[in-house]
Structure 1
């Protein structure tokens, strides 16, 4: 078990360096509290690698990833629009500000879960689990990915303390959109015409609704008593 743990830790840690997941972790840390981001990534990684080990060790097979990449790409676009929207709260919303942490946790966890399904680190975990101790592979791969992403979170948290809020929001939104396009391209490569049309239609609908909502928020009169909440950092 120890050998499998060390093997999977090293393989996944190295594979994660410079990966989109590490960049995503840094982007989230620019906007939100580092411990919320790290906890969400840990939960998502544990779940994804449990799935990987199950398929690799017990079933000896992989799973189709095109649809998962498309869903993850759409999720990234939604999160980019959410970032542009900002976190200004009205009187009623400010009384529920403590819920922001929970919503961020769920958003980060779900987006990481979707983004990692079908990623090279998941495929590497499946491969390692076919011929090694499944528990060691599960623990080692999870720790390896969390360790790599923790480095990115530290960088993001450090940058977040020295950059203006608007710069952080704009940069984060751009990165989220880039991740979304990246994942959509991965999912649509070799896809059928019906899948491409359906995905493009869903993307246009999401962007249209998001932009319309943002403009409505920006054009709404601002109450003098409405406090402005910074990002959940």
Structure 2
């Protein structure tokens, strides 16, 4: 349960103000099909994060030593500090318009997550907890919690979220997770 809850909490916080929220806003403005977009986000995130958590569990077997555990804990702290750097607004092009909201959302979200902070975090969470399913479900739920409101409420919601505070809370969550792992 700890793996699921930690994964949900850290990713939900890390996603606030992330490029995928901007992508959600773009997709709802372009297609105005919220349930197709939400389904696409879910499919893409489950696929991407399952592979990432699996990679983390696989890598974790090589990091079972005390040095490896320090490396994983330090990586959480680095990802937390990385969250202080805002994402660049990478607007998708219109070249995907003919494929429909679900396919475009699935493809763009899957691609947007490659090398993203939350994908790296999912690998680290998989390595730390050595549990693919709870980490995948937790990080996916975190992604959905951060992006569904954007899809459903759009631009009106984005005007009221204090991104700076949310980003600092996410930084604290990752750094705290790293410090707890160091002390365990």
TM-score grouping bracket, smaller chain normalisation:
0.5 to 0.7
Aligned to 2:20: 21
Scaled by the length of structure 1, the TM-score of the pair is 0.50
CA offset at residue 79 of structure 1? 4.7
Is the Cα–Cα contact under 8 Å of residues 50 and 133 in structure 2 kept in the other structure? Answer: no
Aligned to 2:124: 127
Is the Cα–Cα contact under 8 Å of residues 52 and 125 in structure 1 kept in the other structure? Answer: yes
Closer/same/farther in 2, CA of residues 4 and 105 from structure 1, 3 Å limit: same
Is 1:44–2:44 an aligned residue pair? yes
CA–CA separation in structure 1 for the residues paired with 2:43 and 2:36: 11
CA offset at residue 102 of structure 1? 6.0
Deviations 1:102-152 (A, max 9, x none): 633112211110110110000011111102132211110000101101011
Is the Cα–Cα contact under 8 Å of residues 23 and 91 in structure 2 kept in the other structure? Answer: no
CA–CA separation in structure 2 for the residues paired with 1:11 and 1:52: 15
Rg larger for: 1
CA RMSD of aligned residues (A): 2.7
CA offset at residue 26 of structure 1? 1.3
Scaled by the length of structure 2, the TM-score of the pair is 0.62
CA–CA separation in structure 2 for the residues paired with 1:9 and 1:140: 4
Q: Structure 2: which 5+ residue stretches go unaligned?
A: 62-88, 158-184
Q: Structure 1: which 5+ residue stretches go unaligned?
A: 62-75, 84-99, 160-233
